[in-house]
Amino acid sequence: MLLASLGLMALQAVSVSGTQPDSIPTISLAEAIRRAYDISPATVTARGQLGTIIWARRAAVAALFTPSLTVGGNVNSLSPPVVNFNVLPPGGAFTALSPTSHTTDGNIQVAYTFFAGGQSLFRLRAARAGESAARANDDAVHSSTRVEVETVYYAVVADQELLRVAEEQVQTLTEQLAISRARVRAGAAAQTDSLQVLLQLTTARVSLLRQHVTVDVDRLALGRRIGLSTPVGAQPLDTLPAPPLPLSLNEAVNMALASGPAYLRARAGERAVTAQLAVQVGGFIPSLTLSATRFAYGDALPPNKLYRNQFSVGLSFPILDQGVREAGLVSARASADSARAARADLERGAAQDVTSAYEAYNTARTTVDMEQLSVLVARENLRVATLRYRTGAENILNLLTAQVALTQAESDLVSARRNTRLALASLQSLTGKTLIPGEH
């Protein structure tokens, strides 16, 4: 009896925690994904890059079709006074000038690069390719962010289901402890029966506490994903059987190559880097610039004593620039080769990646069916073992074994459902399509 009392005291100590009512807010998967899109560092960075590239493309268009305009001027205070020869008109006499302590000048210049060896066109093409790459990257980042949110969300859903399993195990063992004690008091069983159940119940209580911790941590992770520093629960998902995929494996591979965000990003990135290579090549070609400037000179603001106009045609033919152009060309070519190799490797791995997700989904679906049957069998075995133990036809160890088997079967079922959802999320991310409408 002393051992039983000590065991009861341990049981009461273990059961103190985990009894608080659950009042934290919950969120749907669709809302969690939407909020993650708004605050995820990766998506915010991708949006910023896209906005920057869009303005780079606008600047390239402006450079191609509009001239540059510059307005400038100076105000000078001189001591001692000097003669400002800038205001001497053509053919004027120097005697007409007098010393002044202030001079002013101003200019307006308009310049347009009439020919740059096609470099302006190359820059515009590179800017457009860069914008396409930025949009593809934005889509790919959204896709990967969605998978990350789904992973955390499904972890919370599974944790909540496992918490229910742990609570049911504790409840069942509590009932079994009452039965075993009654049998001990009636002299139909040894005291070790109740001690065995008490030990199992204490272990289940500890597992329940650990599951509470896991739920709390994963709920905090979900809250972080949606921009909160507090725990957030996941709304329960349906437990209907997962439907078969609506396409074959080969169709899934082809779909991924055609519309998968990661593959589109790789191809767009290769085009953008290749376009930058053409810009570097344009640096070796002469450029022709037309400019017109109007100057004004005087000793007041605005300067108004003399105006001069200048029109110029400038030809720039780069010969040597200390290897800067060559270094830029080599760097651009290396970047293009690297992007090409990365894209080719990603496409070669498409069949492997898609097959892994595709077969993982099919395997998880079958596993769910098997685990559902295992739960039914384990539940029936526990019912029979409980009845047999009540009548004295079964020993306590077989009863506890049946209880552990049921808990394990229910846990495996939860894991199989989670694996099914994760595999589908991965496959849909690879293909860029919603293959099975659900909680998304």
Buried b (16+ CB within 10 A) or exposed e, 274-296: bbbbbbbbbbeeebebebeeebb
pLDDT tens per residue, range 34-57: 999 999 999 999 999 999 989 888
- What does the domain layout of the chain look like in residue ranges? 22-66+117-283+324-431, 74-90+97-115+284-317
pLDDT band at 190 (very low <50, low <70, confident <90, very high): confident
pLDDT of residue 91: 66
Residue 179's pLDDT is what?
Answer: 82
Q: Kindly tell me if the per-residue pLDDT of 439 is higher than 60.
A: no
Tell me the pairing of strands 26-27 and 233-234.
parallel
pLDDT score recorded for residue 124: 83
Write out pLDDT tens, residues 53-75: 898 888 888 877 888 899 999 98
Say yes or no to pLDDT of 19 above 60.
Answer: no
Instruction: Give me the mean pLDDT over the 368-395 stretch.
Output: 89
- Show the beta-strand stretches assigned E in 215-370: 233-234, 287-298, 306-316
Q: Which residue has the higher pLDDT, 286 or 387?
A: 387
- In CATH, the number for domain 22-66+117-283+324-431 is 1.20.1600.10
Structure tokens at 34: 């939407």
- Strand, coil or helix: what is 349? coil
What is the predicted pLDDT for the residue at 413?
Answer: 95
How confident is the model at residue 194, as a pLDDT?
A: 81
Helices 249-259 and 261-282: angle between axes, nearest 10 degrees:
30
429 close to 264: Cβ distance less than 8 angstroms: no
Per the structure block, which two tokens stand in for 355?
């097959």
Work out whether strand 100-115 and strand 68-82 pair parallel, antiparallel, or are unpaired. antiparallel
- Between CA 67 and CA 439 the distance in angstroms is 54
Q: What integer pLDDT is reported at residue 246 of this predicted model?
A: 93
What length does the chain have? 440
Structure confidence by residue, pLDDT tens digits, 133-151: 999 999 999 999 999 999 9
In whole angstroms, give the CA distance from residue 56 to residue 279: 14
Q: What percent of the chain has pLDDT over 90?
A: 50
Higher-pLDDT residue of 414, 279: 414
- Consecutive H or E run containing 285: none
Q: pTM score > 0.85 for this model?
A: no
Q: From edge to edge, which strands make up the β-sheet containing 68-82?
A: 68-82, 100-115, 287-298, 306-316
pLDDT at 222: 96
- Return the beta strands (E) in 49-195 as ranges: 68-82, 100-115
Q: Is 91 left (phi over 0), alpha (psi -120 to 50) or beta?
A: left
Between CA 11 and CA 13 the distance in angstroms is 5
Q: Given pLDDT bands bounded at 50, 70 and 90, which one contains residue 440?
A: very low
Query: Looking at residue 65, what is its pLDDT?
Result: 80
pLDDT tens by residue, 234-247: 998 888 888 999 99
What residues have CB less than 8 Å from 35, skipping those under 6 apart? 27, 225, 226, 227
The residue-averaged pLDDT of 190-209 equals 87
Please give the Cα distance from 208 to 15 (Å, whole number): 9
Query: Hey, what are 11's tokens?
Result: 């049981």
Q: What is the per-residue DSSP string for 252-264?
A: HHHHHHHH-HHHH
What is the distance between the alpha carbons of residues 274 and 293, in angstroms, rounded to a whole number?
38
Task: State the average pLDDT for the chain.
Answer: 86
DSSP state of 93: -
